[in-house]
Amino acid sequence: MYLPRHFEMGDLDEIAAFVDSTGAADLVTVAADGRPASSLVPILWERHDVDPDTGRFGTLLAHVARMNEQWYDVSEGQRVLAIVHGPQAYVSPSWYAAKAEHGRVVPTWNYSAVHLSGTVELVDDADELRDLVGRLTDRHELDRPAPWSVDDAPEAYVAGQLKAIRGVVIQVDAVEAKAKLSQNRSEADRDGVVAGLLADGDPDGVRVADAMARLRATEDPA
């Protein structure tokens, strides 16, 4: 990840909250012949043993379809990358106050993303796989008024479904996080971007504008 200092998300709790709120990632692998592949999957980042000084950043859990050919070429201990995407939006130079001042402005793209990388273990044991799926499900059902549990489905049905998937466990040893939200622009330019995104009304753009406003609030000593 290209990570200029002014776009870096350095607080691990902030990064974890971002990952948890997104709840899914692109799992990227490279086969022995150099062929890259990616699958979007639900994730759970468990951070029981985090120790950045020794390169331990917890464990990322996921599961993939057993028929997904991406995972035919993945071996135990191989390094993989999980990319967690936040909202993103095009930024028009017409929104900058600097356009009227000197005209030296160009388009850009605002976004947030987290990269989690580490070594992978593939889980096929039925009991371990059921436990992994249960933890993933409990996380994603957590805030629902009537949470669904794996135990709610018939046992034989669950056993059959588990045969169709493989568990993915990544021992995370590197975390990179970026929030590119116009921090390198003047206050007037940033105000213009927020106003422009809100006026456009695109849902992702509105979320970017909200993230920009929340970031500004943390920077304002008042």
Q: Residue 55 has what pLDDT?
A: 85
What's the average pLDDT block by block, 10 residues per block, for the chain (222 residues)?
Answer: 92 94 96 94 92 90 96 93 97 94 93 98 95 95 94 95 96 96 96 97 96 87 54
The CATH number assigned to the domain holding 117 equals 2.30.110.10
Taking the C-alpha atoms of residue 120 and residue 170, their distance in angstroms, rounded to an integer, is: 4
Q: Residue 51 has what pLDDT?
A: 86
Q: Residue 36 has what pLDDT?
A: 95
Q: Tell me, yes or no, whether 194 lies in a domain.
A: no
Taking the C-alpha atoms of residue 104 and residue 111, their distance in angstroms, rounded to an integer, is: 22
Q: Tell me, yes or no, whether 103 lies in a domain.
A: no
Q: Tell me, yes or no, whether 123 lies in a domain.
A: yes
Q: Give 143: exposed, middle or buried? Use CB within 10 Å, 0-12, 13-18, 19+.
A: exposed
Number of structural domains in the chain: 1
Q: Which two tokens stand for residue 69?
A: 């050919």
Instruction: Give the residue among 89, 123, 127 at the shortest CA–CA distance from 108.
Output: 89
Q: Tell me, yes or no, whether 90 lies in a domain.
A: no
Given a contact cutoff of 8 angstroms between Cβ atoms, the answer to whether 111 and 87 are in contact is yes
* Structural domain of 76: 5-85+110-182
Give the per-residue SS3 of 29-40.
EECCCCCEEEEE
Read out DSSP for 30-80? E-TTS-EEEEEEE-EEE-TT-BGGGTB--EEEEEEETT-GGGGG--TT-EE
Q: Residue 87 has what pLDDT?
A: 95
Q: Residue 80 has what pLDDT?
A: 97
Q: Tell me, yes or no, whether 30 lies in a domain.
A: yes
